[in-house]
């Protein structure tokens, strides 16, 4: 059982820093010299079937071109084969954090980006609001810091907040220099929007599709960088670690190549996790299907420190399909987000009797931080027995509404709703993990060679509640801050090539190995289990909690996990077998348990964590919740790495 306590954790990078060293050779292998040995095989491009599901993804021409170029740069030397690849840097995730980091470290060595689906499929791509940064003379770093700390219920790490708010404007300017296009006002200056919790207009945006525009610009830059190889449809399974002199070292990760149905091992000196959050531990989330907590779970199994997992942010305004004039014919994989900027632009929340209710809960009304708005909506729904509330922006000029929110307007119009004339039905949905893998000020973790950035990381910026549009900002700042220590570590680290064959290889199941019908039964049971876990999390670990319900959740999740694993192994599954649905399920179980344990440990209500048993802030408990690695892992498949940790000299 992991050792869970509430404590301040100050993680310092223990490795010696050698600033100024530059090492251009790739992992001891002459990367550029051997590129002529690569064999390009593009016959596999097209539709990529999921291993344990019946779905497939058709690649657009644009992304096929991107993929062809990525493959051309992928098989890097004669020392590699289809199942083992060597790089200086491995990046897991293709959102803003992973791409921005890759573009910097590629100047110093070879980079592999492993991404679970299409390169653009990330939480970044779905971010509507924008990036918060101090870019107006009337604004200030101190004001941005204050807003962040107030929204974070005074649990934020002040040094982290100052760094992010200070360095943020430069990171935004870098995006613009790279070709990202943001909205400008009539005066030619950047148009800065305002969102809940902000005291100034400081949100840089591209209409209501900011994340998509940032992702486009970064992917284009990656596409033009010959030192970066992008491996789409590669699902990272577990980190490869060894213990040396009492410290854990990371040397890359194993993955499933969904196209070839092979386990591919990526060996690297430095690994950056930028794999996003775990929204799909809940049944309704704004996150894309890839957000199943893979990075957090892999890190926990690798004995990284985890922090603040109880703080799950529920976005107050996701589109409620139930309230649309025309109902969608199929269930969405992820809820459609109605950006915070709608309220920032003057949107008003009403219950279904068209009574404005936010002033009853908070003086800031619709501009209160997300945790306050989400709890207020939740309270209205429970008191009135309704399934959604209404967000109205129709009192604003039609042309401005359509100019600011074209994506939202188009999506609602598909279902018969004109947002310039009618209110939008909205409901809270799981949105963002404020907790994650504990990171130092340069993205370092307690595992040597492992860095984190973006939603997978817990840097201390968000505290108990993320301020709107601070997530893309944090990802940009920490992706950049992790670069120099990563380069230094790459120069000084031992090569992992000699260890590549020592970790046992995971295996992919086949119908012949499992027996007739077993594989389809496992798929069906796994999907059923996933739905049951999500239901437990929503009913017992939602917006409003209690100790009794949390303990029930702990018990129910434990039973559900045991029953699922017992079913798998009874049908012929083995501990070294891997498949997409099965690995996602073990990661969802791992993250759900981390959330519940952290929630039980916090005996107060702060930010996103509200419990009826301890409804007030307790100053003595104003400290992060930290889950330290334990010598003995939990005896479940979800909690143990597939590969035994090596002992290295």
- 338 near 463, Cβ under 8 Å? no
CA dihedral over 276, 279, 285, 291, signed as positive or negative: positive
Neighbours of 150 (CB within 10 A): 16
637 phi/psi in degrees, rounded to 5: -60, -35
Neighbours of 631 (CB within 10 A): 6
Q: Environment class of residue 140 by beta-carbon count within 10 Å: exposed (0-12), middle (13-18) or buried (19+)?
A: middle
Alpha-carbon distances of 113 from 69, 78, 91, 252, rounded to whole Å? 13, 20, 5, 12
Angstrom distance (rounded) from CA 449 to CA 341: 38
Residue that has been written with the tokens 């050792």 in this structure: 3
**CA nearest to 427, candidates 394, 380, 464:** 380
Angstrom distance (rounded) from CA 308 to CA 623: 9
Angstrom distance (rounded) from CA 277 to CA 131: 18
**CA nearest to 94, candidates 234, 189, 265, 188:** 234
Angstrom distance (rounded) from CA 135 to CA 395: 29
Alpha-carbon distances of 397 from 401, 403, 419, rounded to whole Å? 6, 10, 11
Angstrom distance (rounded) from CA 430 to CA 334: 10
- 556 near 249, Cβ under 8 Å? no
Q: Token pair of 597, please? A: 């344990």
Q: Token pair of 201, please? A: 């207009």
Q: Token pair of 613, please? A: 């048993």
Report, in angstroms and rounded to the nearest whole number, the Rg of the chain calculated over CA atoms: 24
Q: Token pair of 213, please? A: 């525009």
Beta strands in 15-77 (DSSP E): 48-49, 56-57
3-state helix/strand/coil string of 331-363: CCCCCCECCHHHHHCCCEEECCCCCECHHHHCC
| Ordered alpha helix ranges (H), 7-75 | 61-72
173 phi/psi in degrees, rounded to 5: -60, -35
Give the list of residues 6+ apart from residue 361 with CB closer than 8 angstroms, or none: 368, 372, 375, 376, 379
Neighbours of 55 (CB within 10 A): 10
Alpha-carbon distances of 572 from 529, 539, 567, 576, 640, rounded to whole Å? 18, 33, 9, 12, 19
Kindly name the residue from 69, 370, 480, 586 that is annotated as catalytic. Answer: 370
212 is catalytic: no
Active site residues: 370
């Amino acid at each position: 059982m992991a050792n869970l306590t509430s404590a301040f954790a100050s993680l310092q990078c223990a490795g010696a820093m050698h600033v100024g060293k530059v090492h251009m050779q790739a992992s001891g292998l002459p990367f550029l010299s051997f590129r002529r040995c690569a064999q390009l095989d593009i016959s596999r491009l097209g539709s990529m079937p999921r291993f344990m599901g019946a779905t497939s993804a058709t690649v657009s021409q644009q992304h096929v071109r991107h993929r062809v170029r990525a493959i051309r740069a992928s098989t890097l030397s004669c020392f590699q084969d289809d199942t083992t690849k060597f790089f200086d840097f491995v990046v897991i995730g293709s959102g803003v954090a992973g791409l921005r980091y890759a573009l910097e470290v590629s100047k110093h060595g070879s980079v592999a980006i492993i991404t679970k689906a299409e390169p653009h499929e990330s939480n970044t791509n779905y971010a509507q609001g924008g990036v918060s940064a101090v870019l107006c003379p009337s604004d200030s770093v101190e004001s941005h810091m204050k807003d962040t700390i107030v929204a974070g219920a005074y649990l934020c790490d002040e040094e982290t907040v100052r760094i992010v708010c200070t360095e943020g404007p430069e990171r935004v300017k870098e995006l613009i220099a790279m070709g990202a296009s943001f909205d400008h006002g009539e005066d030619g200056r950047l148009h800065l929007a305002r969102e809940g919790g902000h005291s100034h207009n400081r949100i840089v945006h591209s209409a209501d599709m900011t994340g998509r525009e940032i992702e486009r610009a970064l992917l284009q830059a990656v596409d033009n960088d010959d030192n970066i190889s992008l491996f789409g449809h590669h699902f990272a399974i577990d980190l490869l670690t060894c213990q040396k002199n009492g410290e854990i070292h990371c040397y890359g990760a194993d993955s499933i190549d969904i196209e070839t149905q092979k386990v591919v091992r990526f060996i690297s000196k430095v690994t950056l996790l930028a794999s996003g959050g775990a929204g799909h531990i809940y049944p309704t989330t704004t996150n894309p299907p890839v957000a199943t907590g893979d990075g957090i779970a892999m890190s926990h199994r690798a004995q990284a420190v985890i922090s603040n997992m109880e703080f799950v942010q529920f976005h107050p305004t996701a589109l409620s399909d139930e309230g649309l004039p025309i109902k969608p014919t199929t269930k969405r994989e992820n809820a459609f987000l109605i950006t915070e900027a709608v309220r920032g632009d003057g949107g008003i929340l009403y219950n279904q009797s068209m009574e404005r209710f936010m002033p009853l809960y908070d003086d800031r009304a619709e501009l209160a931080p997300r945790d306050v708005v989400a709890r207020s909506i939740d309270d209205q729904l429970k008191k009135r027995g309704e399934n959604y509330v209404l967000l109205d922006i129709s009192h604003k000029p039609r042309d401005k509404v359509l100019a600011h929110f074209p994506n939202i307007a188009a999506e609602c119009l598909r279902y018969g709703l004109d947002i310039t004339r009618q209110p939008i039905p909205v409901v809270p949905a799981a949105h963002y993990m404020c907790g994650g893998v504990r990171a130092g000020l340069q993205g370092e973790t307690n595992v040597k060679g492992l860095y984190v950035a973006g939603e997978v990381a817990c840097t201390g910026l968000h505290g108990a509640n993320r301020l709107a549009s601070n997530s893309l900002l944090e990802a940009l700042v920490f992706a950049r801050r992790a670069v120099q220590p990563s380069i230094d570590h790459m120069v000084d680290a031992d090569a992992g090539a000699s260890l590549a064959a020592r970790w046992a290889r995971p295996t992919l199941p086949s119908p012949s190995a499992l027996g007739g019908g077993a594989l389809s039964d496992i798929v069906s049971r796994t999907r059923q289990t996933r739905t049951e876990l999500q239901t437990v999390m929503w009913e017992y670990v939602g917006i409003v909690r209690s100790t009794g319900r949390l303990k029930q959740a702990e018990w129910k999740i434990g039973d559900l996990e045991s029953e699922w694993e017992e079913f798998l192994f009874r049908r012929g599954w083995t501990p070294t077998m891997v498949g997409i649905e099965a690995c996602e399920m073990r990661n969802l179980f791992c993250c759900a348990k981390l959330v519940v344990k952290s929630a039980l440990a916090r005996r107060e209500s702060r930010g996103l964590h509200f419990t009826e048993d301890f409804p007030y802030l307790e100053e003595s408990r104003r400290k992060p919740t930290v889950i330290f690695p334990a010598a003995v892992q939990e005896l479940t498949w979800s909690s143990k790495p597939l590969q035994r940790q090596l002992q290295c000299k």
